[in-house]
Amino acid sequence: MRAKAIIARRSPDGVPSADDFSVEDFVVAPLQPGEVLYETLLLSIDPHVRRRLPQAAWLPKPHGDVTAIGEVVVAGTRPPPSPRDAAVVGRVLESRSADFRPGDFVFGGFRWQTLHVDQAAHLHHIQPTPATALVDELGLLGQPGFVAWYGVGLADLQPGEVFVVSSGGGAVGMVAGQLAKRRGARVIGIASGSKVGYVVDELGFDACIDRTREDVTGALDALAPEGVDVYFDNVGGTVTDAVMTRMADFGRVIVCGMASEYNRAEPVTGPPLRPVLRKRLRIQGFVIYDHGHLYPRFRELALRLVADGGLKYRNHIFDGFERAPEALGCLLRGENEGRVVVRVSDEVG
């Protein structure tokens, strides 16, 4: 049986482009006992894929696997620490395991390819819910939603506090802002393009700063003159430097992602730490892989919020497996409108 894979051809310079990759055919090996063959229906496109691409040796290694030049692009860790860390929603074609049958939907996959052979122990069943689509398993109910929920909890957010989320229209930010709103905070997004209006009009954020058109510090001075109590950071870089100057006393900075830095070749400095002392700030990073045991709590809550209309989401779908590099570039340039997913099979919605 033949399949397609996307190969990393070189170390990208900045945001990856299609030229950094090639699409190649490969032949799927026959199944061994305990293995499962499944097809990719949906492929998750995440910022961390960028860090796993070939890069200068001195750059810090990401958590988990990396892509070598000439190899199939790594899309996640293997085996996924939990179903939520899977990069692929697939459907079983053949199985030599009693745990999976042809037609079963599965989470799995950690590389960009259309067919996968893996041990059954590395796969997780998907149990679709009536209120959500299969694609939501990768976003709203997937790792982005889970990350948002965990990060907002870490912030010890109080009603009435000012909550700022960078990449507010992104896969994580959309959920973080809505959860903060449900906790009674005043929510200010930082976003670009159509996402600025979307998060206010559709998701109920109180305001959103367009980072490409507005001065972030000036906008915060107008929107939050008393300062920012919680900054949920998905981007790092200059946006973070700006918000850091506007933190309120006892503010908390939740470091969830560094999307703006994934394309940089040079290490960068960070914001001055002096305000950490003067304003008694807490800056806290986390990696969701450490907290997989909490996923069921999140899922239960999220489904309840979806059911009563209190949690919305949108996905930015690229149709066609070969568009994965294009989708990654769109994501890393911040041009996506919602969670980025490549739809490999036109049978799923």
Distance CA 189, CA 241 (A): 16
Of 291, 310, 247, the closest CA to residue 273 belongs to 247
Provide the 8-state DSSP code for 111: B
Distance CA 302, CA 305 (A): 5
Residue 229: partners with Cβ closer than 8 Å, 6 or more residues away: 157, 158, 161, 162, 163, 185, 248, 250, 251, 252
C-beta of residue 340 within 8 angstroms of C-beta of residue 188: no
**Residue 66 found at the interface with its own copies (CB under 8 A):** no
Cross-strand bridge partners of residue 115: 39
Stretch that binds its own copies, among 7-15, 124-132, 274-282, 339-347 (CB under 8 A): 274-282
**Residue 76 found at the interface with its own copies (CB under 8 A):** no
**Residue 265 found at the interface with its own copies (CB under 8 A):** no
**Residue 60 found at the interface with its own copies (CB under 8 A):** yes
Q: Output 2 or 293, the one with its CB closest to its own copies.
A: 293
**Residue 277 found at the interface with its own copies (CB under 8 A):** yes
Q: Output 194 or 238, the one with its CB closest to its own copies.
A: 238
Q: Which one of 142, 173, 271, 325 is in contact with its own copies (CB under 8 A)?
A: 271
The count of residues in the chain is 349
* Segment 155 to 174, residues that bind its own copies, using CB under 8 A: none
For residue 20, give the amino acid letter. Answer: D
CA angle 146–150–155, rounded 5-degree value: 150
CA dihedral (289, 294, 299, 302) positive or negative: negative
**Residue 14 found at the interface with its own copies (CB under 8 A):** no
**Residue 290 found at the interface with its own copies (CB under 8 A):** yes
Q: Output 247 or 344, the one with its CB closest to its own copies.
A: 247
CB of 51 to its own copies, least distance (A): 9
Q: Which one of 160, 272, 296, 349 is in contact with its own copies (CB under 8 A)?
A: 272
Q: Which one of 4, 182, 279, 316 is in contact with its own copies (CB under 8 A)?
A: 279
**Residue 283 found at the interface with its own copies (CB under 8 A):** yes
**DSSP assignment string, 62-79:** PSS--PPTTSBPB-S-SS
Q: Which one of 63, 124, 181, 182 is in contact with its own copies (CB under 8 A)?
A: 63
Q: Which one of 221, 287, 296, 349 is in contact with its own copies (CB under 8 A)?
A: 287
CB of 80 to its own copies, least distance (A): 19
Q: Which two tokens stand for residue 195?
A: 């996402």
Residue 265: partners with Cβ closer than 8 Å, 6 or more residues away: 13, 14, 56
Stretch that binds its own copies, among 160-168, 169-177, 210-218, 249-257 (CB under 8 A): 249-257
C-beta of residue 291 within 8 angstroms of C-beta of residue 260: no
* Interface contacts to its own copies, rule CB under 8 A: 60, 62-63, 236, 240, 255-258, 261, 267-287, 290
